[in-house]
């Protein structure tokens, strides 16, 4: 008997189809619910847009305020810049009207004594001094400033004329105070801006004080272009110059004697020498010997000296009579009439063993 064929394997179940169809509401209520959802989404979107709009408007308003503030600040700065330029131009024009160079001289300071050819020639000497000083100052400032020839030069000399005259009379350079006053008058009248001021007989350093007072008065002046100073270095500490309301590049020191290192080390400071005007002081000035006056009006000169001794120093006090004017004149009578007293002297010495020796030139006496 023939076998029947095997039945075919059962077919696999078909996969459920994916539903892509949109559910369409079929009733009015379903459709109303759907519209409510859409309305809520639309309201949320509008609310979000409104929030962003309000935030943007707030930022825009703040930015606008900042812009107005910046504009106001910029306009204020521009106005200040214009005003500052106008003030600067006005100040420059004001300074350009009468700029001047100020020269202050302490006539009583060591090293600032004028040459004899000026101070011994009365008014003519003073006029010559003014001419020479003006010439040398012009020569000095000409390389420093382009408009040097148009700058006014103001000179102030402060001196105790009586004290200066006493020294000059003792040295035989002038006969009396009137000659020196005539020199100062000639100096002051020669140039309108030159003055030689007599500070009178007062406390020591009056002329120095006058110079410092003028420094305080003139240096803040905007018309001052350059300062030239002749002052005793002992009365001129570096702080006096560094605290001036004037740049140090506009300050010059007249160098008659050697200036101390603390002054020469100041940067930007200028130095000028005027050898045709001032007499250089001696390197080691000797003290003036005191004089003793006798009955007849004659004088005696005292000299105190030190003599080396193998056992120690000896101090010598030498008293010499002052020669009379007739003998000092060098006449024939003076040359022939010299007496023994003219060369006599009295020497008193103190030895290392405290012995006192008195030698009058004729006799020598030793006292233990």
Chain-centroid distance, C-alpha 82? 32
Residues 273 and 230 in one domain: yes
**pLDDT for 260:** 87
Residues 142 and 236 in one domain: yes
Residues 51 and 168 in one domain: no
**pLDDT for 12:** 55
b/e 291-329 (16+ beta carbons within 10 angstroms → b): eeeeeeeeebeeeeeeeeeeeeebebebebbbbeeebee
Interior CA angle at 239 toward 234 and 242, to 5°?
Answer: 125
- pTM recorded for the entire structure: 0.56
148-192 tens-digit pLDDT = 999 999 999 999 999 889 989 998 888 899 999 999 999 999 999
Interior CA angle at 25 toward 21 and 26, to 5°?
Answer: 115
The length of the chain in residues reads 368
Residues 252 and 275 in one domain: yes
**pLDDT for 49:** 92
Residues 228 and 353 in one domain: no
Q: What is the mean pLDDT of each run of 10 residues along the chain (368 residues)?
A: 56 56 74 86 90 91 90 91 88 76 90 90 95 95 92 94 90 90 95 93 80 92 92 88 91 88 89 90 55 47 46 46 42 43 52 56 50
Domain end, chosen from 57, 80, 97, is at 97
Query: Is position 271 within any domain?
Result: yes
Q: Which two tokens stand for residue 34?
A: 């759907």
Residues 296 and 363 in one domain: yes
Residues 106 and 239 in one domain: yes
In sequence order, the 6+-apart residues with CB closer than 8 A to the CB of 99 are 147, 150, 151, 152, 223, 224, 225
What is the three-class DSSP state of 215? helix
Residues 60 and 137 in one domain: no
Residues 73 and 210 in one domain: no
β-bridge mates for residue 320, sequence order: 301
**pLDDT for 200:** 85
What is the three-class DSSP state of 7? coil
**Would you list the DSSP string of 28-91?**
HHHHHHHHHHHHHHHHHHHHHHHHHHHHHHHHHHHHHHHHHHHHHHHHHHHHHHHHHHHHHHHH
What's the domain range around 250? 98-279
Compute CA distances 324 → 40, 132, 265, 321, whole Å.
137, 39, 51, 9
State the total domains in the chain.
3
């Amino acid at each position: 008997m023939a076998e029947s064929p095997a039945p075919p394997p059962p077919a696999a179940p078909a996969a459920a189809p994916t539903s892509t169809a949109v559910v369409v509401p079929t009733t009015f209520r379903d459709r109303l619910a759907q519209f409510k959802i859409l309305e809520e989404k639309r309201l949320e979107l509008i609310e979000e847009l409104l929030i962003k709009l309000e935030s943007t408007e707030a930022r825009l308003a703040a930015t606008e305020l900042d812009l107005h503030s910046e504009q106001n600040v910029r306009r204020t700065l521009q106005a200040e810049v214009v005003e500052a330029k106008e003030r600067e131009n006005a100040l420059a024009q004001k300074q350009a009207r009468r700029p001047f160079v100020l020269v202050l001289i302490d006539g009583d300071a060591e090293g600032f004594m004028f040459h004899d050819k000026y101070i011994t020639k009365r008014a003519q000497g003073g006029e010559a001094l003014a001419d020479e000083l003006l010439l040398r100052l012009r020569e000095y400032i000409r390389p420093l400033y382009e408009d040097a020839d148009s700058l006014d030069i103001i000179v102030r000399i402060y001196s105790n004329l009586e004290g200066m005259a006493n020294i000059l009379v003792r040295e035989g350079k002038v006969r009396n105070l009137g000659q020196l006053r005539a020199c100062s008058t000639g100096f002051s009248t020669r140039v309108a801006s030159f003055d030689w001021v007599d500070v009178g007989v007062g406390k020591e350093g009056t002329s120095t004080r006058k110079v410092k007072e003028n420094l305080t008065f003139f240096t803040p002046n905007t018309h001052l272009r350059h300062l030239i100073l002749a002052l005793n270095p002992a009365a001129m500490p570096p702080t006096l110059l560094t605290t001036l309301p004037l740049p140090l590049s506009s300050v010059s020191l007249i160098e008659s004697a050697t200036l101390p290192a603390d002054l020469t080390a100041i940067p930007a400071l200028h130095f000028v020498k005027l050898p045709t005007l001032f007499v250089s002081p001696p390197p080691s000035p000797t003290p003036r010997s005191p004089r003793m006056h006798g009955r007849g009006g004659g004088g005696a000169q005292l000299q105190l000296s030190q003599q080396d001794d193998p056992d120690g120093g000896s101090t010598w006090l030498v008293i010499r009579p002052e020669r009379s004017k007739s003998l000092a004149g060098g006449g024939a009578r003076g040359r022939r009439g010299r007496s023994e007293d003219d060369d006599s002297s009295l020497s008193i010495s103190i030895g290392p063993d405290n012995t006192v020796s008195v030698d009058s030139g004729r006799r020598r006496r030793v006292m233990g």
